[in-house]
Amino acid sequence: MAYELPPLPYDYAALEPHIDEATMKLHHDKHHQTYVTNLNGAVEKHAELGAKSPEELIKDLASIPEDVRKVVQNNGGGHVNHTMFWQIMKPHGGGEPSGNIGDQIKTDFGSFEEFKKLFNETTAKQFGAGWGWLIFEGGKLKIVTTANQDNPLSQGHYPILGNDVWEHAYYLKYQNKRPDYLAAWWNVVNWDEVNKRFETAKKK
């Protein structure tokens, strides 16, 4: 079975004005599709890989045949990262996080504002292309970054929340102002989905 591009769970323009329609069309239809296409191309060379989910592939990169390992790392990661990314955003999202994730953020960072500030500062400093993540390790929330399309799953961590800071995620609207994009992004976060991911992270 070939991997497929999941449909967006909302309209391309649904995250306006924070993320523009043109960016969403390019980001989903072109960039995400390319990761899926390239991942399928790698798996065609090793049919046994096709029995695994994209998450399983990037969880154990050492087991991937060497001739396609980097392709799977980059494009399997790109597929997993973006599939999550579309789900943790929604129209009319944002606001203060509620539920268990809201409580845990206050416990570990003092307040949502402090967490947001630290997440934005940390992610803004990610050199070049990459992602900012929230993970749960040792009973605490931690903010980490990865380069390119690397995913915390490859280091044994389940990502609760992640923001894409590749330029294709924001350049049409925000140009080189990555901090402006990071600040605006909180207006579209889907805290219901983030809460579900937090519960999954706690079980792992």
Exposure b/e, 169-204, CB count within 10 A at least 16 = b: bbebbbeeebeebbbbbbebbbbebbbbbbeebeee
Question: How many of the other CB atoms lie within 10 Å of CB of 116?
Answer: 18
**pLDDT tens string for the chain (204 positions)?**
699 999 999 999 999 999 999 999 999 999 999 999 999 999 999 999 999 999 999 999 999 999 999 999 999 999 999 999 999 999 999 999 999 999 999 999 999 999 999 999 999 999 999 999 999 999 999 999 999 999 999 999 999 999 999 999 999 999 999 999 999 999 999 999 999 999 999 998
Say whether 99-203 and 21-87 share the same fold: no
Q: Determine whether domain 99-203 maps to CATH 3.55.40.20.
A: yes
Q: What is the CATH number of domain 21-87?
A: 1.10.287.990
Look up the pTM and report it. Answer: 0.96
